[in-house]
Amino acid sequence: MLMPAAVAWVAPAIAWLIAITLVVVIALILRNLAHRLIGRIVRRASAERPSLAGRLRGRETVTPEGLDAIVAERRRQRAETIGSVLRHIASIIILGTAVLTVLERLSVPIAPLLTSVGILGVAIGFGAQELVKDFIAGMFMLLEDQYGVGDVIDAGAAIGTVEAVTLRITRLRDADGRVWYIRNGTITRVGNESQGWSRATVDVPVAYASEIPVVRDLLKEVADEMWNEPAFRDSIIVEEPQVWGIEQISDTAIIFRVSAKTIPSRQAEVARELRLRIKAALDRADITIAA
């Protein structure tokens, strides 16, 4: 007479075990599938951006093959970083659901658990908004390839060379050697100085009494001379420098502007060289710089 009772106790237990095993197995399979799907999507999303090579071209002085390698490498890294995040999210959802389902099957009352987790979750959730913002911002920065290690960027809070990019922060080193950690979510706009070309702009204030056409020709001469030197032409300055004329009639001087298009991040150097040569030329021609 005990046996049937035992059977009555054993049978549902076995049914339970089967049910639970099933849940666990299905969860693991689903997670596996989700991970593969994510991998495929991310890889395809990366591959769909051929413009990357175009934008990188101006950035580094590399052979096309080297460029292809860099592009491929960057793309791989990016796919990996973002895929890892998505895989984590998928795992949390699938395994979390599985655990709750198992607990429910075991007749463990999950309401108290949910209550505890929920209250704490909301409490933390409010505070974690910023964190999520940082990660979302980071993901899109990577997906859109806004900048990479080695680029000189203006991130608002600081200007410098990118040393590292993670999903949460960007690490820069500015001109003074200061290392900046900037949360991605606080970067509303980024100015990248390492894509395509930069422009050196030199303002030259001359006295009111100066002969305007003479000054203009002199500036043009200096610009042409520099453009004709092989050390600058094409390798550093990528377009013939231009004298833009009188930018401003200020209350103390007539201000001329000279402009030169350079390869990325070399504009300061070119501007300094231009200033040196212009100052020398003006001195030779006895044209007074405004004072």
Q: Using CA atoms, how far apart are residues 75 and 83, in angstroms rounded to an integer?
A: 12
Q: Using CA atoms, how far apart are residues 48 and 38, in angstroms rounded to an integer?
A: 15
- Asked if 46 is part of the footprint of a copy of itself (rule: CB under 8 A), the reply reads no
Q: Using CA atoms, how far apart are residues 130 and 136, in angstroms rounded to an integer?
A: 10
Give, as ranges, the residues between 75 and 94 that touch a copy of itself (CB under 8 A): 89, 92-93
Determine the interface stretch with a copy of itself among 4-12, 35-43, 71-79, 105-113 (rule: CB under 8 A): 105-113
- Asked if 239 is part of the footprint of a copy of itself (rule: CB under 8 A), the reply reads no
Question: Can you say how many angstroms the Cα of residue 261 is from the centroid of all Cα atoms in its chain?
Answer: 24
Per-residue burial over 133-171, b = 16 or more CB atoms within 10 Å of its CB, e = otherwise: ebbebbbebbbebbbbeebbbebeebebbbeebebebbb
Task: Tell me which of 21, 129, 228, 235 binds a copy of itself, using CB under 8 A.
Answer: 129
* Cα dihedral value 10, 13, 14, 17, nearest 10: -160
If the CB atoms of residues 63 and 188 are measured against a copy of itself, the closer one turns out to be 188
Q: At closest approach, how far in Å is the CB of 18 from a copy of itself?
A: 15
Q: At closest approach, how far in Å is the CB of 62 from a copy of itself?
A: 19
If the CB atoms of residues 43 and 133 are measured against a copy of itself, the closer one turns out to be 133
Closest Cα to residue 197, out of 260, 119, 264, 287?
A: 264
Determine the interface stretch with a copy of itself among 39-47, 62-70, 119-127, 226-234 (rule: CB under 8 A): 119-127
Q: At closest approach, how far in Å is the CB of 86 from a copy of itself?
A: 12
Residues near a copy of itself (CB under 8 A), total: 101
- Asked if 126 is part of the footprint of a copy of itself (rule: CB under 8 A), the reply reads yes
- In the sheet that holds 254-262, the strands lie side by side as 198-206, 254-262, 242-249
If the CB atoms of residues 122 and 231 are measured against a copy of itself, the closer one turns out to be 122
DSSP state of 263: S
Q: At closest approach, how far in Å is the CB of 157 from a copy of itself?
A: 4
If the CB atoms of residues 21 and 69 are measured against a copy of itself, the closer one turns out to be 21
If the CB atoms of residues 2 and 122 are measured against a copy of itself, the closer one turns out to be 122
Q: Using CA atoms, how far apart are residues 77 and 68, in angstroms rounded to an integer?
A: 14
If the CB atoms of residues 127 and 230 are measured against a copy of itself, the closer one turns out to be 127
Q: Using CA atoms, how far apart are residues 194 and 59, in angstroms rounded to an integer?
A: 6
Q: By the 8 A CB rule, do 201 and 224 touch? A: no
- Asked if 290 is part of the footprint of a copy of itself (rule: CB under 8 A), the reply reads yes
Give, as ranges, the residues between 245 and 264 that touch a copy of itself (CB under 8 A): 245-249, 251-254, 261-262, 264
- Asked if 50 is part of the footprint of a copy of itself (rule: CB under 8 A), the reply reads no
Give, as ranges, the residues between 161 and 200 that touch a copy of itself (CB under 8 A): 166, 168-169, 173-183, 185-186, 188-193, 195-199
- Asked if 27 is part of the footprint of a copy of itself (rule: CB under 8 A), the reply reads no
Question: Can you say how many angstroms the Cα of residue 75 is from the centroid of all Cα atoms in its chain?
Answer: 13
DSSP state of 185: G
How many other β-carbons are positioned within 10 Å of the β-carbon of residue 255? Answer: 15
If the CB atoms of residues 49 and 63 are measured against a copy of itself, the closer one turns out to be 49
- Asked if 157 is part of the footprint of a copy of itself (rule: CB under 8 A), the reply reads yes
Q: By the 8 A CB rule, do 219 and 204 touch? A: yes
